[in-house]
Amino acid sequence: MVATQPCAIVVLAAGAGTRMKSKTPKTLHSIGGRPLVGHALHAADGLDPVHIVAVVGHQRELVSPAIDAISAELTHEVIQAVQPEQQGTGDAVACGIAAIPEFKGTVIVTNADVPLLRPQTLQDLAASHVEAGNAVTVLSMRQEDPTGYGRIIRTADGQVEAIVEHKDASPQQLLVDEVNSGVFAFDAAVLRHALKELNSDNAQGELYITDVLEIARKEGHKVGAYTAKDPAELAGVNDRAQLASAGRELNRRVVHSAMLAGATIIDPESTWIDVTVTIASDVTIYPGTQLLGTTSIAEDAEVGPDSTLTNMQVGSGAKVVRTHGFDSVIGTNANVGPFTYIRPHTLLGEGAKLGGFVESKNAQIGRGSKVPHLTYIGDATVGEESNIGASSVFVNYDGVNKHHTNIGSHVRTGSDTMFIAPVNVGDGAYSGAGTVIKDDVPAGALVVSGGKQRNIEGWVQKKRPGTPAAEAAARAQENIE
């Protein structure tokens, strides 16, 4: 059932969040790669409302720009309303709806610190509110341990009468296990009127949004509760332990939906996937893997074990083993790892390879080219089907500036080649082992740089007499003679 009334949604994000014990505002702590307030605003967006209002206050110099950034990701613009002093949730809502004075219809109020709330639940609340003809509907939930929550007080015949805060509740009321989730649907006109009637005559000396319910009821409006099917969705984050458990629950959901979409995830518990990651079908993820940011994994790719990929694009059929990578592209059927460090702007072509103990940065490596062992490749372009020998270094930094190396196609460089940039190596060229390439190498040339090898016979026995090396040398000579 879809709500037949226009909706506006007010997200409260002005509170201090002192229990986080953090210099970062609570709502900017992240789970699943998105700040808490981002989760709340994405859920709000899913409701397709006429307006989204975020109420900011505490540390708004940090919170406001973050909300602007999230607003840019959404289909609806987020209006920000400032609550100058945190005088309670009632005051916060009053500040929020002051930003949309013309609005008529249903106002949904939700909190920035409830990151697991699904848009569907907000839709169900709005629909049940309209269907019941209520002026106020509280989203309630049952809690085995209701400590700290506002209790839903009902009459003998089950009508919702009031919400009483934990700190204001009588011993009898404290036994109630149906509690206020902090999420409501209000008729805009009734809400505007009732907010004027609030007072701070309570244990916390604050203006409580929860009091609107009783005020509306006494004025003859219909009030009610809609009980959430899954109370886990309404878990609030107030401290770091709750942040971690909400993060785990969110991850469980993301990993689960990746599996339902056709990915094989060997160990869901040790696999962490941000909400912004995309994973195609027939992908395999091995244990201990984190896929973060805007990472995307194409069909038939295999990632892990023990890999962390941030903003990485992994092509179909690629294999990425024990790799730490950022902001880069791994081509179709490419091979990476184990123990590979991929830094920003690496573009690994189709079927190309970055092997063990290789570090790359700002490097375009063409189709079928290989950098198999123990190499640093930075600020470089490599053509197709070339092979870079083990233990090579692209010497890109002269202490002041970075320089570029160009390697052609079908090039084969020997082990321990140093490319002193800026330098160009033509198509089909070869280098000998241990070559230091300072000047351009023409296509098809073999480049060698060391002088002729010289053996100084008997040097060890003469200069290092009595050492194990000298003794070993003597024994070897005896065997020959």
Nearer to ligand UD1, 134 or 313 (CB): 134
Q: Give the binding site for Mg ion (CB under 5 A).
A: 236
**In the complex, least distance from residue 254 CB atom to ligand UD1, rounded to whole angstroms:** 24
Q: Give the binding site for ligand UD1 (CB under 6 A).
A: 12-15, 55, 57, 83, 86-89, 91-92, 111-113, 149-150, 163, 165, 179-182, 208-210, 236
Q: Please say whether the beta carbons of 130 and 122 come within 8 A.
A: no
**In the complex, least distance from residue 236 CB atom to Mg ion, rounded to whole angstroms:** 5
Q: Compute the residue count for the chain.
A: 481
Nearer to ligand UD1, 12 or 116 (CB): 12
Tell me if 123 is assigned to a ligand binding site: no
Tell me if 150 is assigned to a ligand binding site: yes
Q: Which does 87 bind (CB under 5 to 8 A by kind): Mg ion, ligand UD1, none?
A: ligand UD1
**In the complex, least distance from residue 220 CB atom to ligand UD1, rounded to whole angstroms:** 23
Q: Which of 166, 373, 403, 404 is catalytic?
A: 373
Using H for helix, E for strand and C for coil, what is the string for the chain?
A: CCCCCCEEEEEEECCCCHHHCCCCCHHHCEECCEEHHHHHHHHHHCCCCCEEEEEEECEHHHHHHHHHHHHHHCCCCEEEEECCCCCCHHHHHHHHHHCCCCCCCEEEEEECCCCCCCHHHHHHHHHHHHHHCCCEEEEEEECCCCCCCCEEEECCCCCEEEEECHHHCCHHHHCCCEEEEEEEEEEHHHHHHHHCCCCCCCCCCCCCCCHHHHHHHHCCCCEEEEECCCHHHHCCCCCHHHHHHHHHHHHHHHHHHHHHCCCEECCHHHCEECCCCEECCCCEECCCCEEECCCEECCCCEECCCCEEECCEECCCCEECCEEEECCEECCCCEECCCEEECCCEEECCCCEEEECEEEEEEEECCCCEEEECCEEEEEEECCCCECCCCCEEECECCCCECCEEECCCCECCCCCEEECCEEECCCCEECCCCEECCCECCCCEECCCCCCCCCCCHHHHHCCCCHHHHHHHHHHHHHC
Nearer to ligand UD1, 16 or 474 (CB): 16
Nearer to ligand UD1, 91 or 233 (CB): 91
Q: Which does 66 bind (CB under 5 to 8 A by kind): ligand UD1, Mg ion, none?
A: none
Return the amino acid letter for 224: G
Q: Which does 149 bind (CB under 5 to 8 A by kind): ligand UD1, Mg ion, none?
A: ligand UD1
**In the complex, least distance from residue 252 CB atom to ligand UD1, rounded to whole angstroms:** 22
**In the complex, least distance from residue 80 CB atom to Mg ion, rounded to whole angstroms:** 21
Nearer to ligand UD1, 91 or 359 (CB): 91
Nearer to ligand UD1, 211 or 379 (CB): 211
User: Pairing mode, if any, of strands 106-111 and 78-82?
Assistant: unpaired
Tell me if 376 is assigned to a ligand binding site: yes
Tell me if 397 is assigned to a ligand binding site: yes
Q: Which does 55 bind (CB under 5 to 8 A by kind): Mg ion, ligand UD1, none?
A: ligand UD1
Tell me if 15 is assigned to a ligand binding site: yes
Tell me if 433 is assigned to a ligand binding site: yes
Tell me if 401 is assigned to a ligand binding site: no
**What pairs with residue 23 in β-bridges?**
none
Tell me if 226 is assigned to a ligand binding site: no
Q: Which does 14 bind (CB under 5 to 8 A by kind): ligand UD1, Mg ion, none?
A: ligand UD1
39 is catalytic: no
Task: List the binding residues for UDP-N-acetyl-alpha-D-glucosamine.
Answer: 12-15, 26, 83, 88-89, 150, 165, 180, 238, 343, 361, 376, 387
Residues labelled as active-site residues: 373
Task: List the binding residues.
Answer: 12-15, 26, 83, 88-89, 113, 150, 165, 180, 238, 343, 361, 376, 387, 390, 396-397, 415, 433
Task: List the binding residues for Mg(2+).
Answer: 113, 238
